[in-house]
Amino acid sequence: MLDFAAQYEAFQRRDAAWDGIVFVAVKTTGVYCRPVCRARTPLARNVTFYRSAASAERAGFRPCLRCRPEAAPFCPAWKGTRTTVERALALIEQGALDHGGVDALAARLGVGARHLSRLFAEHLDASPLQVALSLRVQRAKRLIDGGDIPIRVVAERAGFSSARRMNAAFTRLYGRPPSALRRSRFPYPHPTVTSDRDRQ
């Protein structure tokens, strides 16, 4: 991973080569974006870079509702050099941790659970379970945005064990339940729809 200055310069250019490789969090708004987000570039002192959506969310940032960081999840720059993590991500996206644990996932990959967790920490700054939760929320958000499917069905299709668990995850991340996101296109003030000054 390059240093902060290189990442910030790429962010200023809205360099598509970085899309999915880094996620940009803005301290003053509590929102994280893709590096290609069309919003006005915030000041460097207000920016933090993360290597995955899950690590940005773990740090307390909410997904941007304009650039939709979930649209470019986990596009690793190290593809081909960390095949274990890449295979693990593919299995998690298919739901491997929705009804099973990290031990079972690691066994399918032929590695130990601790080793797998170390690889995730090294490359994504997040644990396999945190990545799985982030993906569940992303799936649910797409289903909610895409129609009027009952919340209970959304939870089931997204991989949550219950609607109650999905509600808790959304409330923790967005500050409100999924039903509120469905009622409002922009559920919280966002810097790109208020004023450019807010991005500073």
Q: Active-site positions?
A: 33, 37, 64, 67
Residue type, 22: V
CA-CA distance, 170 to 160, in Å (whole number)?
A: 11
Q: Is 62 helix (H, G, I), strand (E, B) or coil?
A: strand
Distance spanning both ends of the chain, measured CA to CA: 25
Contact by Cβ (8 Å): 25, 69: no
Strands 47-50 and 23-26: antiparallel
CA-CA distance, 149 to 151, in Å (whole number)?
A: 6
Beta bridge partners of 31: 26, 62
28 Cβ contact partners less than 8 Å away, ≥ 6 residues apart: 42, 46, 198, 199, 200
**Nearest of 155, 129, 132, 131 to residue 143 by alpha carbon:** 155
Residue in the structure block whose two tokens are 């690889």: 119
